[in-house]
Structure 1
Amino acid sequence: MVSMTLVIFWLGILIVGYTYVGYGMIIYIFSKFTRRTNVVASLPDEQLPMVTLLVAAYNEADIIRGKIENTLSLDYPKDKLELFFVTDGSTDQTPDIIKEYSNIQLFHSFERKGKIHAVNRVMKQVKTPIVIFCDANTDLNDLAIKNIVRHYQDKTIGGVAGEKRILSKDKDNASGSGEGLYWKYESFLKKKDAEVYSIVGAAGELFSLRTELFEEPTENMIIEDFYLSMRVTAKGFRFAYEPDAFAIETASASVKEEWKRKVRISAGGFQAMAKLSYLLNPFRYGILSFQYISHRVLRWTLAPLFLPLIFLSNVWLAFQGMPFYQLTMALQIFFYGLAFAGYLLRDKNISIKGFFVPYYFAVMNLSVYFGLSRYLRGKQSVVWEKAKRATA
């Protein structure tokens, strides 16, 4: 009994440690030896390709004018940039506001079937060689498009992901602090993944594809951005990462709102893993399988599964009178005590942002269980109520 409990405890420690810390260290070391020389030279305006920027918006009347102004101010030749805004199902003034701008093509349907249905419908109208997707609630930096398209000089690049940045505040609540720190670490991993081979999953806030590589996901696809980018890599293309093309947005308004988003992403993660199961074959996909399993699959499967097993096995070992495991038990209780304190103070603005890390970590892993339940019961609709974002 003791030996089996020891195996469970240490196997769990290895898996969780590798998933959240070890892989970051390994991919960083790998990047020092296998760093790819990405094409970074900017193209002169006359050599820039035609590009379509596709923005999906649903009931964004409060912010859509700002999004449009940000889009129109981007540093890219106007005659080489097609602007497509799709507003399926919007019941507020979003479509009417967009109609005020003659240089934007509006695609509107009164029927709301979800973002991926809208994107699939509009992609049939895209004639440019490159398409860039971004969300309505984000602002892009001026050189975002130029910094993205320069990577396509490399014929092995099938897509380019921009960087997602959370607007930072001096003091923030649990959602803002946790989400901001999470995306800083995630951006680090994406950068190193790309230096070694390819990123494994683009964020929908800002990413691009060679239009010819776009495949219509099924209209029940929950996290289409992740699926689309992985399909490109499955075809043998690399997905580059461009930190100097970034989308800025505010954090979720509260942990409750972030919870909705995390559960949906978790449900979508299980759906995507089922559809992308072939990527688990390292004999066919090599380094891509290693990155995919390490960076994504373990986060959605074994790491959350082992957290309660680590705790329970540690309790049993501690009660056997083993001093070392009594110490690790005390450390676990302290960590989860901080998580509970974070729960009690989740809506307070605190300057020490690291204070909320244990709570955000617990919420992130707990959401996987709820996401799995939704996926198995088929309860996660592709049409969802978006999470409210904090005010800037």
Structure 2
Amino acid sequence: MKILAILFWISLFLIFYSYLGYGLLLWALIRIKRVFRGKTNPQNPEQWPTVTLLVAAFNEEEDIQTKIFNSLTLHYPEDRIKYLFVTDGSSDRTPEIVARFPQIQHLHRPERQGKLAAVERAMQLVDTDMVVFTDANTILNPDAITNMLRHFTNPQVGAVAGEKRVISKEEDAAAGAGEGFYWRYEGTLKRWDAELHTVVGAAGELFAIRTELYEEVPRDTIIEDFFLTLRIAQKGYRVMYEPGACAEELPSANSGEELKRKIRIAAGGIQSIVRLKPLLNPFRYGWLSFQYVSHRVLRWSLAPMALLVVLVTNMALALEGSFFYQLLLAGQLLFYASALLGYVLESRRLRLKAFFIPYYFFMMNYAVYAGFWRYLHGSQSAVWERAKRQAA
């Protein structure tokens, strides 16, 4: 029983630290840092760098025209920005729509080789100082590019992550409510990560890099945006976070679509841990290793496993008659019952958001098990099948 109790408390600590404790520790560390260094804000450069806005679009005929109008009206000096859209493999009207706009440099091939191949082909034509990557189904705020690119006045900055915002409505199902809450929390952690040292991986909806730091990513990479920006951090550059650069998108159409997306990300996370294993060495990478393990690695490995260990060991300890462990077990069972109720309510189209957060948390951790299985069997394709989004 002593061994079970030790396993229980270690696992419980891992869960707490992975999802809440790291955030609390970050909050404390950056306040200590401000005492000694203060808080600095990036300043506008004397001359704005040249930039290419790069969009890789696959069968986005419903959203691509809105994306184009949004891109062309962003606030940035007209003589310093270029627009490059690549629509390789699209079989709908996406290439035709993009071709109507002479301001946009358009690349298209009928064969589909995946997003990575399309981006690499486009990057061969980029001759600007910076590149901003953004998805075709997201809308940027007018000052997104200027807010991101001012960070590059610091030569130590190699990339800047924008803020992903999920447009969550009151009537949204579990997928929308849970996804919206998750990204608000992630945005807070990324802001604190950047202030302490660096963001550990950007989301593909919106991020910018120095063009000279771009490197080809292995074609079978599942989450290429995360891998690319973390490689930049591995080279010694900082990845900053800009909450004033927002990429808005609608939530997944339902939990099935969101689960599909989460499993893909989890499989890509395991793949990244294997390929970036040198980053696990804190003696070489210091703060980067600490942030990488705390914010990413634990969530994609030990934390989901710890949830299962906590449940099983708690059951065994409760059977010994300890009221304390029985109370903890009752709390766990109540949490999983709430998650199950969230699933039932969504399937019946009932909107009680109090149960959607436990359901989303459970789904997120289940996705890690499913993603790990796919990674081991090589069954997760790197060719992205985008999740269906709710109608506007």
Q: What range is the shorter-chain TM-score in?
A: over 0.9
Give secondary structure in 1 for the equivalent of 2:299: helix
Q: Distance in 1 between matches of 2:202 and 2:348?
A: 31
1:7, CA displacement in angstroms? 1.1
Q: In the alignment, is the contact (CA less than 8 A) between 1:132 and 1:208 conserved in 2?
A: yes
Counterpart code for 1:28 = W
Q: In the alignment, is the contact (CA less than 8 A) between 2:42 and 2:153 conserved in 1?
A: no
State how 1:193-208 maps to structure 2 within 5 Å.
193-208=193-208
1:42, CA displacement in angstroms? 2.8
Give secondary structure in 2 for the equivalent of 1:335: helix
Counterpart code for 1:255 = S
Q: Tell me the alpha carbon deviations over residues 276-310 of structure 1, each in whole angstroms, 9 at most, x when there is no partner.
A: 00000100110110000000000000000111111
Partner in structure 2 of residue 25 of structure 1 = 24
Change (3 A) 1:195 1:351: farther
Q: What is the aligned residue count?
A: 389
1:250, CA displacement in angstroms? 0.5
Q: In the alignment, is the contact (CA less than 8 A) between 1:156 and 1:237 conserved in 2?
A: yes
Q: In the alignment, is the contact (CA less than 8 A) between 1:52 and 1:83 conserved in 2?
A: yes
**Identity among equivalent pairs (%):** 51
Partner in structure 2 of residue 11 of structure 1 = 10
1:79, CA displacement in angstroms? 1.6
Q: In the alignment, is the contact (CA less than 8 A) between 2:317 and 2:325 conserved in 1?
A: yes
Counterpart code for 1:273 = I
Q: In the alignment, is the contact (CA less than 8 A) between 2:197 and 2:288 conserved in 1?
A: yes
Give secondary structure in 1 for the equivalent of 2:298: helix
Partner in structure 1 of residue 314 of structure 2 = 314
Counterpart code for 1:40 = P
Give secondary structure in 2 for the equivalent of 1:252: coil
Change (3 A) 1:113 1:284: same
Q: In the alignment, is the contact (CA less than 8 A) between 1:174 and 1:347 conserved in 2?
A: no
State how 1:284-323 maps to structure 2 within 5 Å.
284-323=284-323
1:38, CA displacement in angstroms? 4.2
Deviates more, 1:361-370 or 1:344-353: 344-353
Partner in structure 2 of residue 72 of structure 1 = 72
Partner in structure 2 of residue 165 of structure 1 = 165
Q: Distance in 2 between matches of 1:354 and 1:145?
A: 36
State how 1:42-191 maps to structure 2 within 5 Å.
42-43=44-45, 47-191=47-191
Q: Tell me the alpha carbon deviations over residues 5-32 of structure 1, each in whole angstroms, 9 at most, x when there is no partner.
A: 1011111100000000100000011111
Q: Tell me the alpha carbon deviations over residues 159-183 of structure 1, each in whole angstroms, 9 at most, x when there is no partner.
A: 0000000002122100000000000
Deviates more, 1:377-386 or 1:51-60: 377-386
Q: Tell me the alpha carbon deviations over residues 58-86 of structure 1, each in whole angstroms, 9 at most, x when there is no partner.
A: 00001111110111110111221110001
Gaps of 5+ in 2: none
Q: In the alignment, is the contact (CA less than 8 A) between 1:86 and 1:122 conserved in 2?
A: yes
Give secondary structure in 1 for the equivalent of 2:84: strand
State how 1:261-280 maps to structure 2 within 5 Å.
261-280=261-280
Q: Distance in 2 between matches of 1:223 and 1:354?
A: 31
Q: Distance in 1 between matches of 2:66 and 2:172?
A: 24
Change (3 A) 1:39 1:258: same
1:350, CA displacement in angstroms? 6.1
Give secondary structure in 1 for the equivalent of 2:76: coil
Partner in structure 1 of residue 253 of structure 2 = 253
Q: In the alignment, is the contact (CA less than 8 A) between 1:131 and 1:210 conserved in 2?
A: yes
Q: In the alignment, is the contact (CA less than 8 A) between 2:45 and 2:153 conserved in 1?
A: no
Give secondary structure in 2 for the equivalent of 1:272: helix
Q: Tell me the alpha carbon deviations over residues 201-223 of structure 1, each in whole angstroms, 9 at most, x when there is no partner.
A: 10000001000001100111110
Q: In the alignment, is the contact (CA less than 8 A) between 1:52 and 1:126 conserved in 2?
A: yes
Change (3 A) 1:274 1:220: same
Gaps of 5+ in 1: none
